[in-house]
Amino acid sequence: MYQFSRAIYRELAPYIGSGDSAHPDPHAEVLRSCEATLERLANDRHYFARPAKSLFNDIRIYFPMSQQAHVCQTVRRVLAIAEAWLETQPRQGFDINGNPLQCRATTRKGTPCQRMPLPRNGYCPSHQHLAETERLEEEAAALAVA
């Protein structure tokens, strides 16, 4: 994921404005935001609905208005490539950092489910009904917006 966060930073670095008292080192802040977003994308994809929007909102204050469209376009493009790359990575029981995968659900006792999730949605076979519930909620939210 390092290569994607650095790609965003390298492309946007020439356009970063100068620092002020609130943000003395904007270059470091932009790089930190890029790395944090891509780390979360790698580890928590199912709960990170709009990573491009989130990253753009975090870093846009460091750029002049004339560069906002370029910043947004760059963030969207590189994060789309990163998401596509993550989809091609084998999920043989471990996440991108080598940690064992776990179901996204919690048990009745409130502890995380320890079973191996299915690749398509991150839930184990016992909790597949939760994936259907999420899909219905997303469709209802989309209809409410339209």
pLDDT band of 37, cuts 50, 70, 90: very high
Q: Is residue 27 part of a domain?
A: yes
Please indicate whether residue 92 or residue 55 has the higher confidence score (pLDDT). 55
Q: Give percent of the chain above pLDDT 70.
A: 90
Which pLDDT belongs to residue 118? 75
Q: Is residue 97 part of a domain?
A: no
* Domain shared by 109 and 135, yes or no: yes
Q: Is residue 121 part of a domain?
A: yes
Q: What is the pLDDT of residues 116-142, one digit of tens each?
A: 887 677 788 888 888 777 777 777 777
Please indicate whether residue 72 or residue 126 has the higher confidence score (pLDDT). 72
Residue 134 CA to residue 121 CA, distance in Å, equals 10
Q: How many domains does the chain have?
A: 2
* Domain shared by 14 and 80, yes or no: yes
Per-residue 3-state assignment (H helix, E strand, C coil) for 15-37: HCCCCCCCCCCHHHHHHHHHHHH
Average pLDDT rounded to a whole number, residues 61-67: 92
Residue 56 has pLDDT above 80, yes or no: yes
* Domain shared by 12 and 68, yes or no: yes
Please indicate whether residue 146 or residue 105 has the higher confidence score (pLDDT). 105
Residue 37 CA to residue 58 CA, distance in Å, equals 10
DSSP for 37-61 reads HHHHHHH-GGG-S-HHHHHHHHHGG
Q: Which residues form the domain of 108?
A: 102-146
In terms of pTM, does the model score above 0.75? no
Last residue of a domain, one of 43, 65, 88: 88
Which pLDDT belongs to residue 30? 93
Residue 23 has pLDDT above 80, yes or no: no
